[in-house]
């Protein structure tokens, strides 16, 4: 699905900098990314 591509790109970038982030920062950012992906998926399925 085309809508998944930005998600994968965002996760790739996040994983690239994972070692420079605290666990809390990493978890917070990944939660935001997944939240946007869920919202986008809901919107596309309407």
Three-point CA angle 2, 28, 1, nearest 5°: 10
pLDDT value of position 38: 74
Contact by Cβ (8 Å): 17, 1: no
pLDDT value of position 20: 97
pLDDT at 13 exceeding the cut of 70: yes
pLDDT at 14 exceeding the cut of 80: yes
Query: pLDDT tens digits for 32-43?
Result: 988 887 776 676
Q: What confidence category does residue 2 fall into, taking pLDDT thresholds of 50, 70 and 90?
A: very low
pTM: 0.67
What are the two backbone dihedrals, phi and then psi, of residue 17, each rounded to the nearest 5 degrees? -105, 10
Of the candidates 44, 1, 4, 24, the residue with the CA atom closest to the CA atom of residue 33: 4
Domains identified in the chain, total number: 1
Give residue 15's domain range: 4-44
């Amino acid at each position: 699905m085309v809508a998944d591509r930005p998600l994968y790109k965002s996760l790739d970038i996040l994983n690239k900098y994972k070692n420079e982030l605290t666990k809390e920062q990493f978890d917070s950012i990944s939660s935001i990314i997944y939240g946007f992906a869920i919202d986008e998926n809901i919107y596309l399925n309407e």
